[in-house]
Every structure is written in C-alpha cells, then in structure tokens.
Chains A and B, each alone.
Chain A
Amino acid sequence: MAERRGKGAGEARSDPRGKSGMLRVKMVLLGSSGVGKSSLALRFSKDDFKDSAPTVGCAYLTQLVCLHDATLRFEIWDTAGQEKYHSVTPLYYRGAQAALIVYDISNRESFMRAQLWLKELEKQYVPGETVVGLVANKSDLSSSRQVSLQEGRSLAENKGLLFMETSAKSGNQVSELLLDIAHRVKLSSREDKGLAEWREADCVDMHREGRPRPLSSCCLTIGL
C-alpha cells in the first residue's frame, strides 16, 4: 500500500488533481498529546490499533479512499501534540485541504486545547477551502467522560465544522469519519462550474450555521 509519490514532490501541490483523476488531499491531525491522533491515523491507514508512543515531530502516512466516482489519496500529517513541537506545526496545516482537530472525551483540558487549535487554524485557512473536522476521540471511555457529546457538537455547529465522536480503539465511527471528510473534500475541490450550487449546498462553509447533512448513502470502500 501507500505507494510512493512519483517524481518532483512539489509540483502536484498546486494542482491537487493528479493524473487519472486521483485527488491528492493533504490532511493534518491536530490536538493535545495523548488524545489519539496517531491511533486514528493508524486506523485510517491500516485499520489497526496498537498502544502507541508519543509522536516525535510529525508522522506522514498515506491512504487511498475510493468513492464511487473518484479516488482520493490522503496524505496524512499526524503532528505531535507535545508543546515543544508547536513551532513546527504551521508547516503541516499550511495548504491543507482537510484538518482534524482531535480531543479526548475523557480529558477536559484537551477540549480546551482543541478550541485554541481551532483559533489558530482560523487565522490560517481560507473559508471553504479547508474541510475542518472536530473529532471527539476515545468514545469507548464514556464512563470517565469529561466532555459531553452536546458540548462538542454545539462547538462544531457554531463554527460550522464537521463533528464526529470516534474510538480509535474500537474503530467505532473511524472509517465513517474518513469517508465523510473525503466527500467534503471532493465536493469542495470540484472545479466543474455546473455543480456550483451543489458545492454551495454540500461543502463545508465555515461561515454557515448548522451541520451539513451527512453523506453516507453512496456505496463506498476504504483502502486499496
């Protein structure tokens, strides 16, 4: 899997649509240390869960997502939550088509940090160009929950973000999350002018209130 990219790493950056209609998607995972970013990334790319060590710097993984009418190649930047690496994180969210801000439902502090990340991100992204998701991870730890489902959801709604509660451990809602992102990214990158209204309706508009309706009806596959 994760086939290496071809020559000249830089060149495709400007044109996200590679040959044969494959869409390259730069996605960044942000959030405090220990919330489960690397665990989510491992679920995304290998559908596996291992006890993981804190990330050093950043980890790069790729994953193909096949929608019925397009294939997306996710280039996932799994950043380190540790404070000493914060100075380099802008490298990773700059130019990203998708950003996931992750917190741990059993850790209130991580939810506060998620809001700071969101602020930082808001300074950077161009509305409508970056699909931003708020991810409440470790949903399997509901017995020690410190952040309610409602809190997370209303924050996301206020900011017009995609919202999902996931468990990297059990795998719950993880592939749904990636698919959801894939759809939105695909819609927001549609160049076809004829579908402009579509885009209006379905892509994530950062200024719009309310959560965009879920897109889960088509038959989809994840992976290779």
Chain B
Amino acid sequence: MEADVHNTNAPVENGSLAPVDRLRHERSDSPTPGLVEGTEPGAGQDSAMFVHAQSFEDLTADDGEQEQELSEEGTDGTLETQEQESGESRDGGGESGEAQDTQAEEEQEDEEAQSSGGRDKEEDVTSEAWRRHRKHVFVLSEAGKPIYSRYGTEEALSSTMGVMMALVSFVEAEKNVIRSIHAEDYKVVFLRKSPLVLVGVSRTRQSERELTRELLYIYYQIISLLTLTQLNHIFQHKQNYDLRRLLAGSEHLTDNLLRLLDRDPGLLLSAVTCLPLPSSSRDVISSSLQAAKAKSLVFSILLAGNRLVTLVRKKDQFLHHMDLHLLFNLVGSSSSFREGEGWTPICLPKFNTAGFFHAHISYLEPASDLCLILVSTDREDFFNLSDCKRRFLERLRRRSAYQALQEALRTPSYSVSQVGIAELRHFVYKSKSSGLYTSPEIPIPYQSEEEQERLMGLYQYLHSCMHHPTRPLRSIYRCGERENLLAWVTSGFELYLCFSPLGTKEQAMAAISKLLKWIRKEEDRLFILSPQTY
C-alpha cells in the first residue's frame, strides 16, 4: 500500500487560488482545486442555509475535548485521560462556534426501524457474536443505570454498565476525565454529558474523535425527545430514575441513527444532499414555501426521502445540520407520519437545549416520498400550519412545479458514469459554504450492505486523516487492492474519490479538476444555490 500525503503546511500546488475579494456571483467556469470558500461549486449565492462555521473542527470543539492529555497505563492498552476543566459548560447550551450544514442519504428508511418491539434485543450478551459487533453504544445515567444499548437488552447489561460507571467515577475522583481506552483491536470511548454517560466500543478504524462525535449525536437524539432542561430536572429529583420509561418506544430512533452514522456520508461530512432538480423548479418550490408562511413558523423543510428539496427559514434563524439530521432521522424511522398530519414537540438541541419546537410533519400525498416539515414555536398553532401546507400545495399545483418535482423523484440520484471519468467509481463532494454535498448512487461493487459500510469506512478513515486534530492533511492518495482512494480538502470544499484499483495516481489527480468542472456545470441542479427566508 502506498500512501502519499501532503501536510497542510506544504505549499499549495496550483497557484490559481481565486482572489478573495471576488464577487460571489462571478462564478468561475473552470473551477480549480484551490477555490476559496464561497466560490466553490455548489456555494450558495446569498446567505447560507445552515449555522455557519468553517469546519469539522468547530463542530467537535464543543465537547470540552481540548487537548492536553495525561497518559496513564491501562492493563492492556493505553488509558487516555484529560485534565478536568473546572467550570466548563457541558450542556451545549452556550457554545459559540458551531459547525455548518446538514443531512442524509442512502436507503434505510422503514425496513427495520418501526415498532418498538421489532428490535432484535434477545442476544446473548456473553456470546462471541455479541462481542464481535463492530460498534457498541451504551448510554447510562450517572447512577450507573442502563438507558440504552445498541445490542442486547439493557437488563442483561446492567452490571457491565455498572462497571463502566465505576471506571468513569474512579477517574473522576482524581479530578480527571476518562476519554478513551485503546486496546489491540478496539477502542472504548467515553462521552460525559451530565446527567448522561455515553460509551462507545468500536472495532472500526475511526478515530477517537469521530467516535466521540457519533456519541454526541446519540446524546442529542435523546435531548431532542426530552430537552436537557427536563432531563436535568428528572435526575435532580431522582438520581436513580430509570430513563428507559421516558425513552420507551424511541429506541428505534437511536438504532436508526447509528445505522445512518455507519452509512450516510452526510452525517460524516456535516452536510446534506439535495434532490437533483432543475433550479427553475426548485425556485418555484422554494418561493411557494416561502409564501406559505405563518407567524410562528421558523423553518419549512421539504424532503424527498432523505434528500433535501428545499429549506426556507425565518430571517436570522439558522438551522444546524445536526438538528436537521435529527429531523431526517425522526421522519425516516417512523411510518407514523404516513397517516394524517403529525404534530409533535421536538427539541432541536443545537438551536436550544431548553425547549421544544412543534413540528407539523406530513407527506404531500399518501404514497409519496415528499415530506413537509413545518417547525413552529407555538404548540397551539397546528391549524395555521396545516393551512400553510394547504396553501403551499395549492401554489405548487397551480404553478405546475408539482409535476417537475414528481419527474425529479423518478431519478433521485445519478450514475457516476455521467461524469465521464475513467476508473472513477464513486465520490463525495461537499461545498463548505453551503453545507451541501453531492454524491452519485452507490455503484455495483458496493451495493451490498457490508460493502456499502466498507466504502463508508474508507471515507471515514480518509476523513479522520484529513481532520486529524494535530496533523490535518490537505490531500491523501491511497492505493489498495480493491480500490484506490483520493481525498482533497481546500478552504472551499472537501472531496473524496474512489477509483478502481487499475487507475493511476496521475489519472486520479487529473480527475479532480475534471470532476469539479462537471459539478460546476451541474451545480444548478445538484445544489440549492439561492436559499430563501421569510
């Protein structure tokens, strides 16, 4: 295996960085890899749709995970601990620097998701098979009570979780925080988010930081159902509370989120993908949605399966991509919105961990993939929102955009062959300023579930190299037996490419500008270039 990496400090190879002061609408016809943020293909024209920040680094920065580690020898691994920062805020309520973007892709949806009884929980937790799962996730209370386990019942695992809590407390007694344990072929990662403790046990090649970020998603998933305020309140009054009571019936949301984390490049990249749609149609849809507003409305989101069709937001209010991913997960893992109109309290933790929004969730037609989410601040406003939906549909039909939308739904993705680059099998391109990404459909060699997860695993690995906390990279090329990989990150975009093993490095490098040109040509269709507000 050959590895070829460029450090961030290395000089940028091409000298064609676009001038920083260039006007955003002056879009280049031949984008080059060095384009600065805001001018890369897929960059929005005006304001961004999502909470804006520059990077993945900002996203993980809120965990109170700042460096300075003390190392301690574990029995058969390294125990990394971190000095506890006194007075740090753990509740995520007051973070300042957030990251951008949004959501989801792939095709899990309904399959298993559904009924609370449908989980295969009866696994023998002492079996080898249980041990061999790639990634375990456990959630427990500070009293050591089990709250969630990805595999096996919480009851069967209560002593295991007790041990985990003992470990956490033991280290904390020394005014330290346990962050991870590294053993030969697995990592154990701890995330302390009072009043919860989350533990991940992984055999994947993901970095500790990526695993921590996944645990953070699980934590926010729980907050989205209960709010942090309620959670704190409960545990203040009863330390020993069995939180499974309140989470009953929602385990499948966490299960599904973990599946998305394994398969969906959006969650990895902190980005969302869009339904390919001619920009003229998208603009009509956006403006129809914009016109169907109500006083209490904060966000209007139209989804096609797990792709974004459009998002309209209240002026000055930004949605965080994590919150959008949680909404996608809620809609994608519950068929209950298929009948009638849903009306549910939901906390968007990156927006505010203290309170509930109220979401009107409904499909445009009973068997359709088009789901409209109207997020309101007023729990009494159901009929107004229901009326917004009606008005939106009316407009859409009148302006025949509905037909264009139906048409687009028939080809929700595209084949990599359309790009016309030899040996290119698959890629993921994210525009940093818009927080949107595009990716062709998964090609034949990766269509099975295992292969798809393996491909995602490769991207995850590349991603963690590019975003290494102390040695971030600008590009990496890796030859393997089954595929060659290239990752390229600039201030404007992130690009991950997968080639057949027959390709050469020269071909791969040449593919970048060719692909960027193609994306530039298609950006009207693949991205949301003119986001709307009301």
Contact = CB atoms under 8 A, between A and B. Distances in A.
Contacts of A60: 340-343, 382, 386
Given A5-B383, A82-B249, A83-B245, A56 B334 contact: yes
17 contacts: A5-B386, A5-B387, A9-B387, A38-B339, A41-B340, A51-B114, A52-B335, A52-B339, A55-B342, A56-B337, A58-B342, A59-B337, A60-B340, A80-B249, A82-B249, A84-B250, A85-B345
Contact of A59 (B247, B330, B343, B346): B343
A59 B340 contact: yes
A52 B330 CA distance: 15
A199 to B, nearest CB: 29
Given A4-B390, A53-B114, A84-B247, A41 B339 contact: yes
Contacts of A51: 114-115
A61 B340 contact: yes
A107 interface: no
B114 A45 contact: no
A68 to B, nearest CB: 28
A9 B386 contact: yes
Given A52-B339, A62-B340, A80-B344, 7 more contacts: A4-B390, A57-B344, A59-B336, A60-B386, A61-B340, A83-B248, A84-B248
A83 B341 CA distance: 21
Contacts of B380: 91
Contacts of B337: 56, 59
Nearest to B113: A53
A10 interface: yes
B339 A59 contact: yes
A51 B338 CA distance: 12
A78 interface: yes
A122 B337 CA distance: 30
Contacts of B247: 84
B344 A58 contact: yes
A127 to B, nearest CB: 25
A57 B337 CA distance: 10
A214 interface: no
B379 interface: yes
Interface residues of A, number: 34
Contact of A54 (B116, B330, B340): B116
A141 interface: no
Contacts of B382: 9, 60
Nearest to A33: B249
A61 B338 CA distance: 11
Interface in B108-131: 113-116
A42 interface: yes
Nearest to B382: A60
A88 interface: yes
A82 B250 contact: yes
A7 interface: yes
A9 B383 contact: yes
Closest 7 CB pairs of A and B: A57-B344, A9-B383, A61-B340, A59-B340, A4-B390, A54-B249, A82-B249
Interface of A: 2, 4-5, 7, 9-10, 33-34, 38, 41-42, 45-46, 51-62, 76, 78, 80, 82-85, 88, 91
Nearest to A39: B339
Contact of A57 (B113, B226, B343, B387): B343
B84 interface: no
Interface of B is mostly: mixed
Nearest to A86: B246
Given A51-B115, A53-B114, A57-B344, A38 B383 contact: no
A52 B336 contact: yes
B168 to A, nearest CB: 26
Interface in B217-269: 225-226, 245-250
Given A53-B115, A58-B342, A83-B245, A4 B386 contact: yes
A33 B115 contact: no
A83 B343 CA distance: 16
B384 A78 contact: no
B108 to A, nearest CB: 14
A91 B340 contact: no
B246 A83 contact: yes
A91 B379 CA distance: 8
Contacts of A56: 330, 334, 336-337, 342, 344, 361
A111 to B, nearest CB: 18
A52 B116 CA distance: 10
Interface string B326-358: 000010001111011111111000000000000
Contacts of B246: 83-84
Nearest to A4: B390
A7 B341 contact: no
A4 to B, nearest CB: 4
Interface string B436-474: 000000000000000000000000000000000000000
Contacts of A58: 342-344
A52 B359 CA distance: 20
Max chain A CB contacts within 10 Å: which of B340, B342, B344, B382? B340
Contacts of A45: 339-340
A59 B339 CA distance: 7
A49 to B, nearest CB: 11
B262 to A, nearest CB: 22
Contact of B248 (A9, A33, A59, A78): A33
B99 to A, nearest CB: 27
A55 B330 CA distance: 11
A38 B336 contact: yes
A77 B345 CA distance: 15
B284 to A, nearest CB: 21
Contacts of A42: 339
A80 B246 CA distance: 12
Contact of B336 (A5, A54, A84): A54
Contacts of A83: 245-246, 248
A88 B390 CA distance: 25
